[in-house]
Amino acid sequence: MVFSDIAAGCFAGFGICAVGHPFDTLKVLLQTGRYSSLGGAFRATVETHGLGGLYKGVASPLVGMGIFNAVQFAVFAGLKRSLTDDGRNVTLNRIAAAAGITGIFVAFVEGPQDLFKCQMQAQMQTGAGAGAGAGAGVAAAAAAAGKTAGAPAAAPPARYAGTLDCARTIIRERGLLAGPLQGIGITIARNVVGVTAYFYFYEGARLYMAGKARRVDELGFLETMLAGGLGGVGYWALCYPLDIVKTAVQCDAIHPAQRKYAGALDAARQLWAEGGARRFSAGLSPALMRSFPANAAGFAIYESVKKGIDGPTIA
């Protein structure tokens, strides 16, 4: 059972990444303040980097999402079984508790992956500035100068040659823990809110659709996709302001002396000063556009692979 959760979660992660990464790239570009609209970010990215630019930094999340979702689904499934008496006492409050604890645990898997991805995506749009790890600061300065409509200005060569080089550089210069765990506090906060909503909406939708006549594992493929899509939308709808702050911290310089933000709280204060409440919804459109199809695919893949490994459940 644990093996099926791990294997199914891994395949789910691949599916989520394949469907969702272009939207995630646009989300990060909008979050850093470099572009003022989704259309502007898309046009500038494609004109400058081609369609492949939408998959910039995909190596880290492609591998990372497989590992991350294998851990996330296995941990959640184990906690759910424990907190619901192996399925005999299923309530949404117990599901929320299992999900919240899962969010804390997987932050230590997801945090480094997000850091490398953010550094690569920010480098794509800011050139050498983000190569030095200062994507958010450079982007904000460019936005303040009114340079939000077109492609980034010419800059010295980017610092990182690729995702693996980015990871090696950060670990070499900042250490095995301090480097990859940049922004871990705000990642945990984001995950507690987001992962709780993720599984709460997913499991809640499944219970509602199953009603009293069916078990949730008897739901059809399309019903599972619908529940998964709702889980993804719930995740981003509730945790998005925290994700804005997390992106700013993880796009910031890897060396503390060069950083624009002293920490997550300072980043939140500065972001509020830049645009008030609206600043915390920058990039929300591609996040929501991504959330339904990516997670619909992810949960459907997860349930299909898990059933394929475990076999049918006997009533």
- For residue range 246-289, list pLDDT tens digits in order: 999 999 999 999 999 999 999 999 999 999 999 999 888 888 88
Q: Could you tell me which residues come within 8 angstroms of residue 221 by beta carbon, excluding any fewer than 6 positions away? A: 300, 304
Quick one: average pLDDT of 51-62? Answer: 76
CATH of residue 282: 1.50.40.10
Is 225 part of a structural domain of the chain?
yes
- pLDDT tens-digit map of 173-187: 999 999 999 999 999
Is 129 part of a structural domain of the chain?
yes
* Residues 216, 204: Cα–Cα separation, whole Å: 10
pLDDT at 81 over 80: yes
Is 205 part of a structural domain of the chain?
yes
pLDDT at 13 over 70: yes
Is 155 part of a structural domain of the chain?
no
Q: What's the confidence (pLDDT) of residue 143?
A: 37
Is 315 part of a structural domain of the chain?
no
Task: Give the Cβ contact number of residue 273 at 10 Å.
Answer: 9
Q: How confident is the model at residue 193 (pLDDT cuts 50, 70, 90)?
A: very high
Q: What's the confidence (pLDDT) of residue 37?
A: 83
Q: How confident is the model at residue 312 (pLDDT cuts 50, 70, 90)?
A: low
Angle at 26 between CA 120 and CA 260, to 5 degrees: 55
Higher pLDDT, 304 or 60: 304
Is 215 part of a structural domain of the chain?
yes
pLDDT exceeding 90 applies to what percent of the chain?
57
Is 180 part of a structural domain of the chain?
yes
Q: What's the confidence (pLDDT) of residue 99?
A: 98
pLDDT at 131 over 60: no
Quick one: average pLDDT of 81-108? Answer: 94
Is 156 part of a structural domain of the chain?
no
Containing domain of residue 17, as a range? 2-150+161-310
What's the domain count of the chain?
Answer: 1
**Over the chain, what is the mean pLDDT?**
85
